[in-house]
Structure 1
Amino acid sequence: MADADTDPLTDVDPDRHPVVLFDGVCNLCHGAIRFLVRHDDAGVFRFAPLDSPVGRALLERHDLPTADYDSVVLVDAAGAHLKSAAALRVARRLDSPWDLAWTLRVVPRRIRDAVYDLVAEYRYDVFGRKDACEVPEPKVRERFPERTLE
């Protein structure tokens, strides 16, 4: 854990390296992070569990709730983005052909978010969950600003 006197956001720069906040016990979310690492050749994204010190600090900075979160959150130079908006903004920065998913932004947000909410509601039933956030493999771990995962 980060020392109480240490700012968990010291090494975090969402302007240069957008941060994807995710559910640390969700198997679907862990699979998505591995996917993002494989398809982000430029190494742009950083990652943090929602309930980590980095995750909580970023949520607080953007006046978002820090408990019971059912959404991926992307924090970038433009602010914090939730649900389908976060997913599409992430896709836009991935390698081709995944960046083409950005075109789905033309679908009304209410519809996109309804689909997102449906997946989020059943993600544990379909994909399962872990008892705790797993320590990522070294290639992924370097993309986590929170070094306390080691």
Structure 2
Amino acid sequence: MTNTLRLDSRSDGCRNFFWLVPAYNQYKDNRGNAISPNFCCFFAIETMLRRVELPDPDSRADLPTQSDVVIYDGNCNFCIGQVRNLRRLDIGGKRLSFLSLHDDRVTQRYPELSYDDLMAQMYVIDGSGTAHGGSEAVKYLTRRLPILWPAMPFLHLPGTAGLWRWLYNQVAKRRYKLAGKKACDSDGCSIHL
């Protein structure tokens, strides 16, 4: 008996099922017809990239008071994509909630964080109110989300903090070049240019 992996793609309400049969190295659709591996990989990626709703700290009563708040650049497509990935990695969805730095609640709740600080890096505010920024936020999340625990030893190697900080800052500086800016519906975005 061979192990099979079912990749599920949903678009417009219909389902397409694909199987990967490792013993024969063939990809098959739901009718048993062979299809190209690239076609199958496209549907696997599309499934992973489905739109994920981000829990708001105020709108969900099921979030515990100790959930961490991730503050990110809501006008940055790259940042939005990474935050959606974090949401998927938060199994059960109760450890993290999310706020865009452009939300007025951020300045009300976290006055110690300046707009320039927030534009420079992502922040995670833990349940005790401690702010973790940039690469330190990423390191904190590897301890907080069990699915990221395998990455924890690499990010916490002694003497590598400067390297991780530098890498994070390089990506953060180029985030708009990587994926662009979110299109604005109002003049609100023109204020932050």
The answer to whether the superposition gives a TM-score over 0.5 is: yes
Q: Which residue of 2 aligns with 1:56?
A: 107
Offset at residue 39 of structure 1 (A):
1.1
Is 2:123 the counterpart of 1:46? no
What 5-or-longer segments of structure 2 have no aligned partner?
1-56, 186-193
Q: Cα RMSD over matched residues? A: 2.6
Residue pair 2:73, 2:100 contacting (<8 A) in 1 also: yes
Residue pair 1:24, 1:132 contacting (<8 A) in 2 also: no
Residue pair 1:40, 1:93 contacting (<8 A) in 2 also: no
Offset at residue 89 of structure 1 (A):
0.9
User: Which protein is bigger by CA-based radius of gyration?
Assistant: 2
Q: 1:86 aligns with which of 137, 141, 146?
A: 137
Q: Which residue of 1 aligns with 2:169?
A: 117
Q: Which residue of 1 aligns with 2:86?
A: 36
Q: Any residues of structure 2 matched to 1:1-150 within 5 Å, and which?
A: 16-43=66-93, 44-60=95-111, 63-67=112-116, 69-76=119-126, 77=128, 79-96=130-147, 98-103=148-153, 104-106=155-157, 107-132=159-184
What 5-or-longer segments of structure 1 have no aligned partner?
1-8, 134-150
List, as ranges, runs of 4+ consecutive aligned residues in structure 1 with deviation greater than 3 Å: 9-15
Q: Kindly provide the amino acid, as one letter, of the partner of residue 181 in structure 2.
A: R
- Structure 1 residues 81 and 89 mapped into 2: Cα distance closer, same or farther (>3 Å)? same
TM-score by length of 1: 0.70
Q: Which residue of 2 aligns with 1:141?
A: none
Q: Kindly provide the amino acid, as one letter, of the partner of residue 45 in structure 1.
A: L
Count how many residue pairs are aligned between Structure 1 and Structure 2: 122
Secondary structure of 2:137's counterpart equals helix
TM-score by length of 2: 0.55
Residue pair 2:90, 2:96 contacting (<8 A) in 1 also: yes
Q: Give % identity.
A: 28
Q: Which residue of 2 aligns with 1:3?
A: none
